[in-house]
């Protein structure tokens, strides 16, 4: 679930999230909140308190678009980040510039050493996939695997071992 800076500044945000989870019988450990570093900068103490409370219930926190805006390595530690999402702008460079590979490898290594998972966004080619798997990126997302689909079609998608590409079941 994407969280805006405005939502994170709201003192009642944690209560709202927990209420929705309880009302719908959804386990907190199955929820991962995605936020950008801007959300942390706007009201750091409120963000820290809110995220700590939600993490106490098992909700995970992902830092989206890492490295593209205001980045501070201290955010990874002070806000209890569980996952770093490597922005597609770096993934896109993997096929054309060594700088993209250097950034992706550095972020993945940093995350691994801090015990934080990584997701690479915007994976579109087999070469990008192979490189990201080789450097230890935990999860990949992008058009290589599937175009966006409506939620009602998710149950119809399976991944075939031969191609790792999604196939629709009938």
User: Catalytic site residues?
Assistant: 121
Task: Give the Cα separation of 77 and 67 in Å (integer).
Answer: 15
| Structure token pair of residue 87 | 């922005």
Alpha helices by DSSP H, listed for the chain, are: 5-9, 13-24, 37-42, 44-56, 73-78, 88-93, 98-114, 126-134
Residues near 31 by beta carbon (within 8 Å), at least 6 away in sequence: 1, 17, 21, 59, 60
Q: Is 82 helix (H, G, I), strand (E, B) or coil?
A: coil
User: What sign for the dihedral angle of Cα 87, 115, 110, 130?
Assistant: negative
């Amino acid at each position: 679930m994407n969280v805006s800076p405005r939502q994170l500044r709201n003192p009642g945000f944690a209560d709202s999230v927990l209420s929705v989870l309880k009302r719908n019988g959804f386990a907190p450990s199955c929820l991962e909140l995605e936020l950008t570093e801007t959300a942390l900068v706007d009201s750091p103490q409120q963000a820290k308190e809110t995220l700590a409370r939600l993490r106490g219930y098992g909700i995970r926190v992902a830092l989206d678009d890492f490295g593209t805006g205001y980045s501070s390595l201290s955010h990874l530690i002070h806000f209890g980040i569980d996952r770093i999402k490597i922005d597609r702008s770096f993934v896109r460079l993997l096929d054309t510039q060594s700088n993209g590979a250097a950034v992706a490898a550095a972020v993945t290594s940093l995350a691994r050493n801090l015990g934080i998972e990584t997701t690479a966004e915007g994976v579109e080619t087999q070469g990008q996939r192979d490189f990201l798997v080789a450097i230890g990126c935990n999860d990949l997302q992008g058009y290589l695997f599937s175009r966006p689909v409506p939620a009602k079609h998710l149950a119809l998608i399976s991944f075939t071992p031969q191609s790792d590409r999604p196939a629709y079941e009938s």
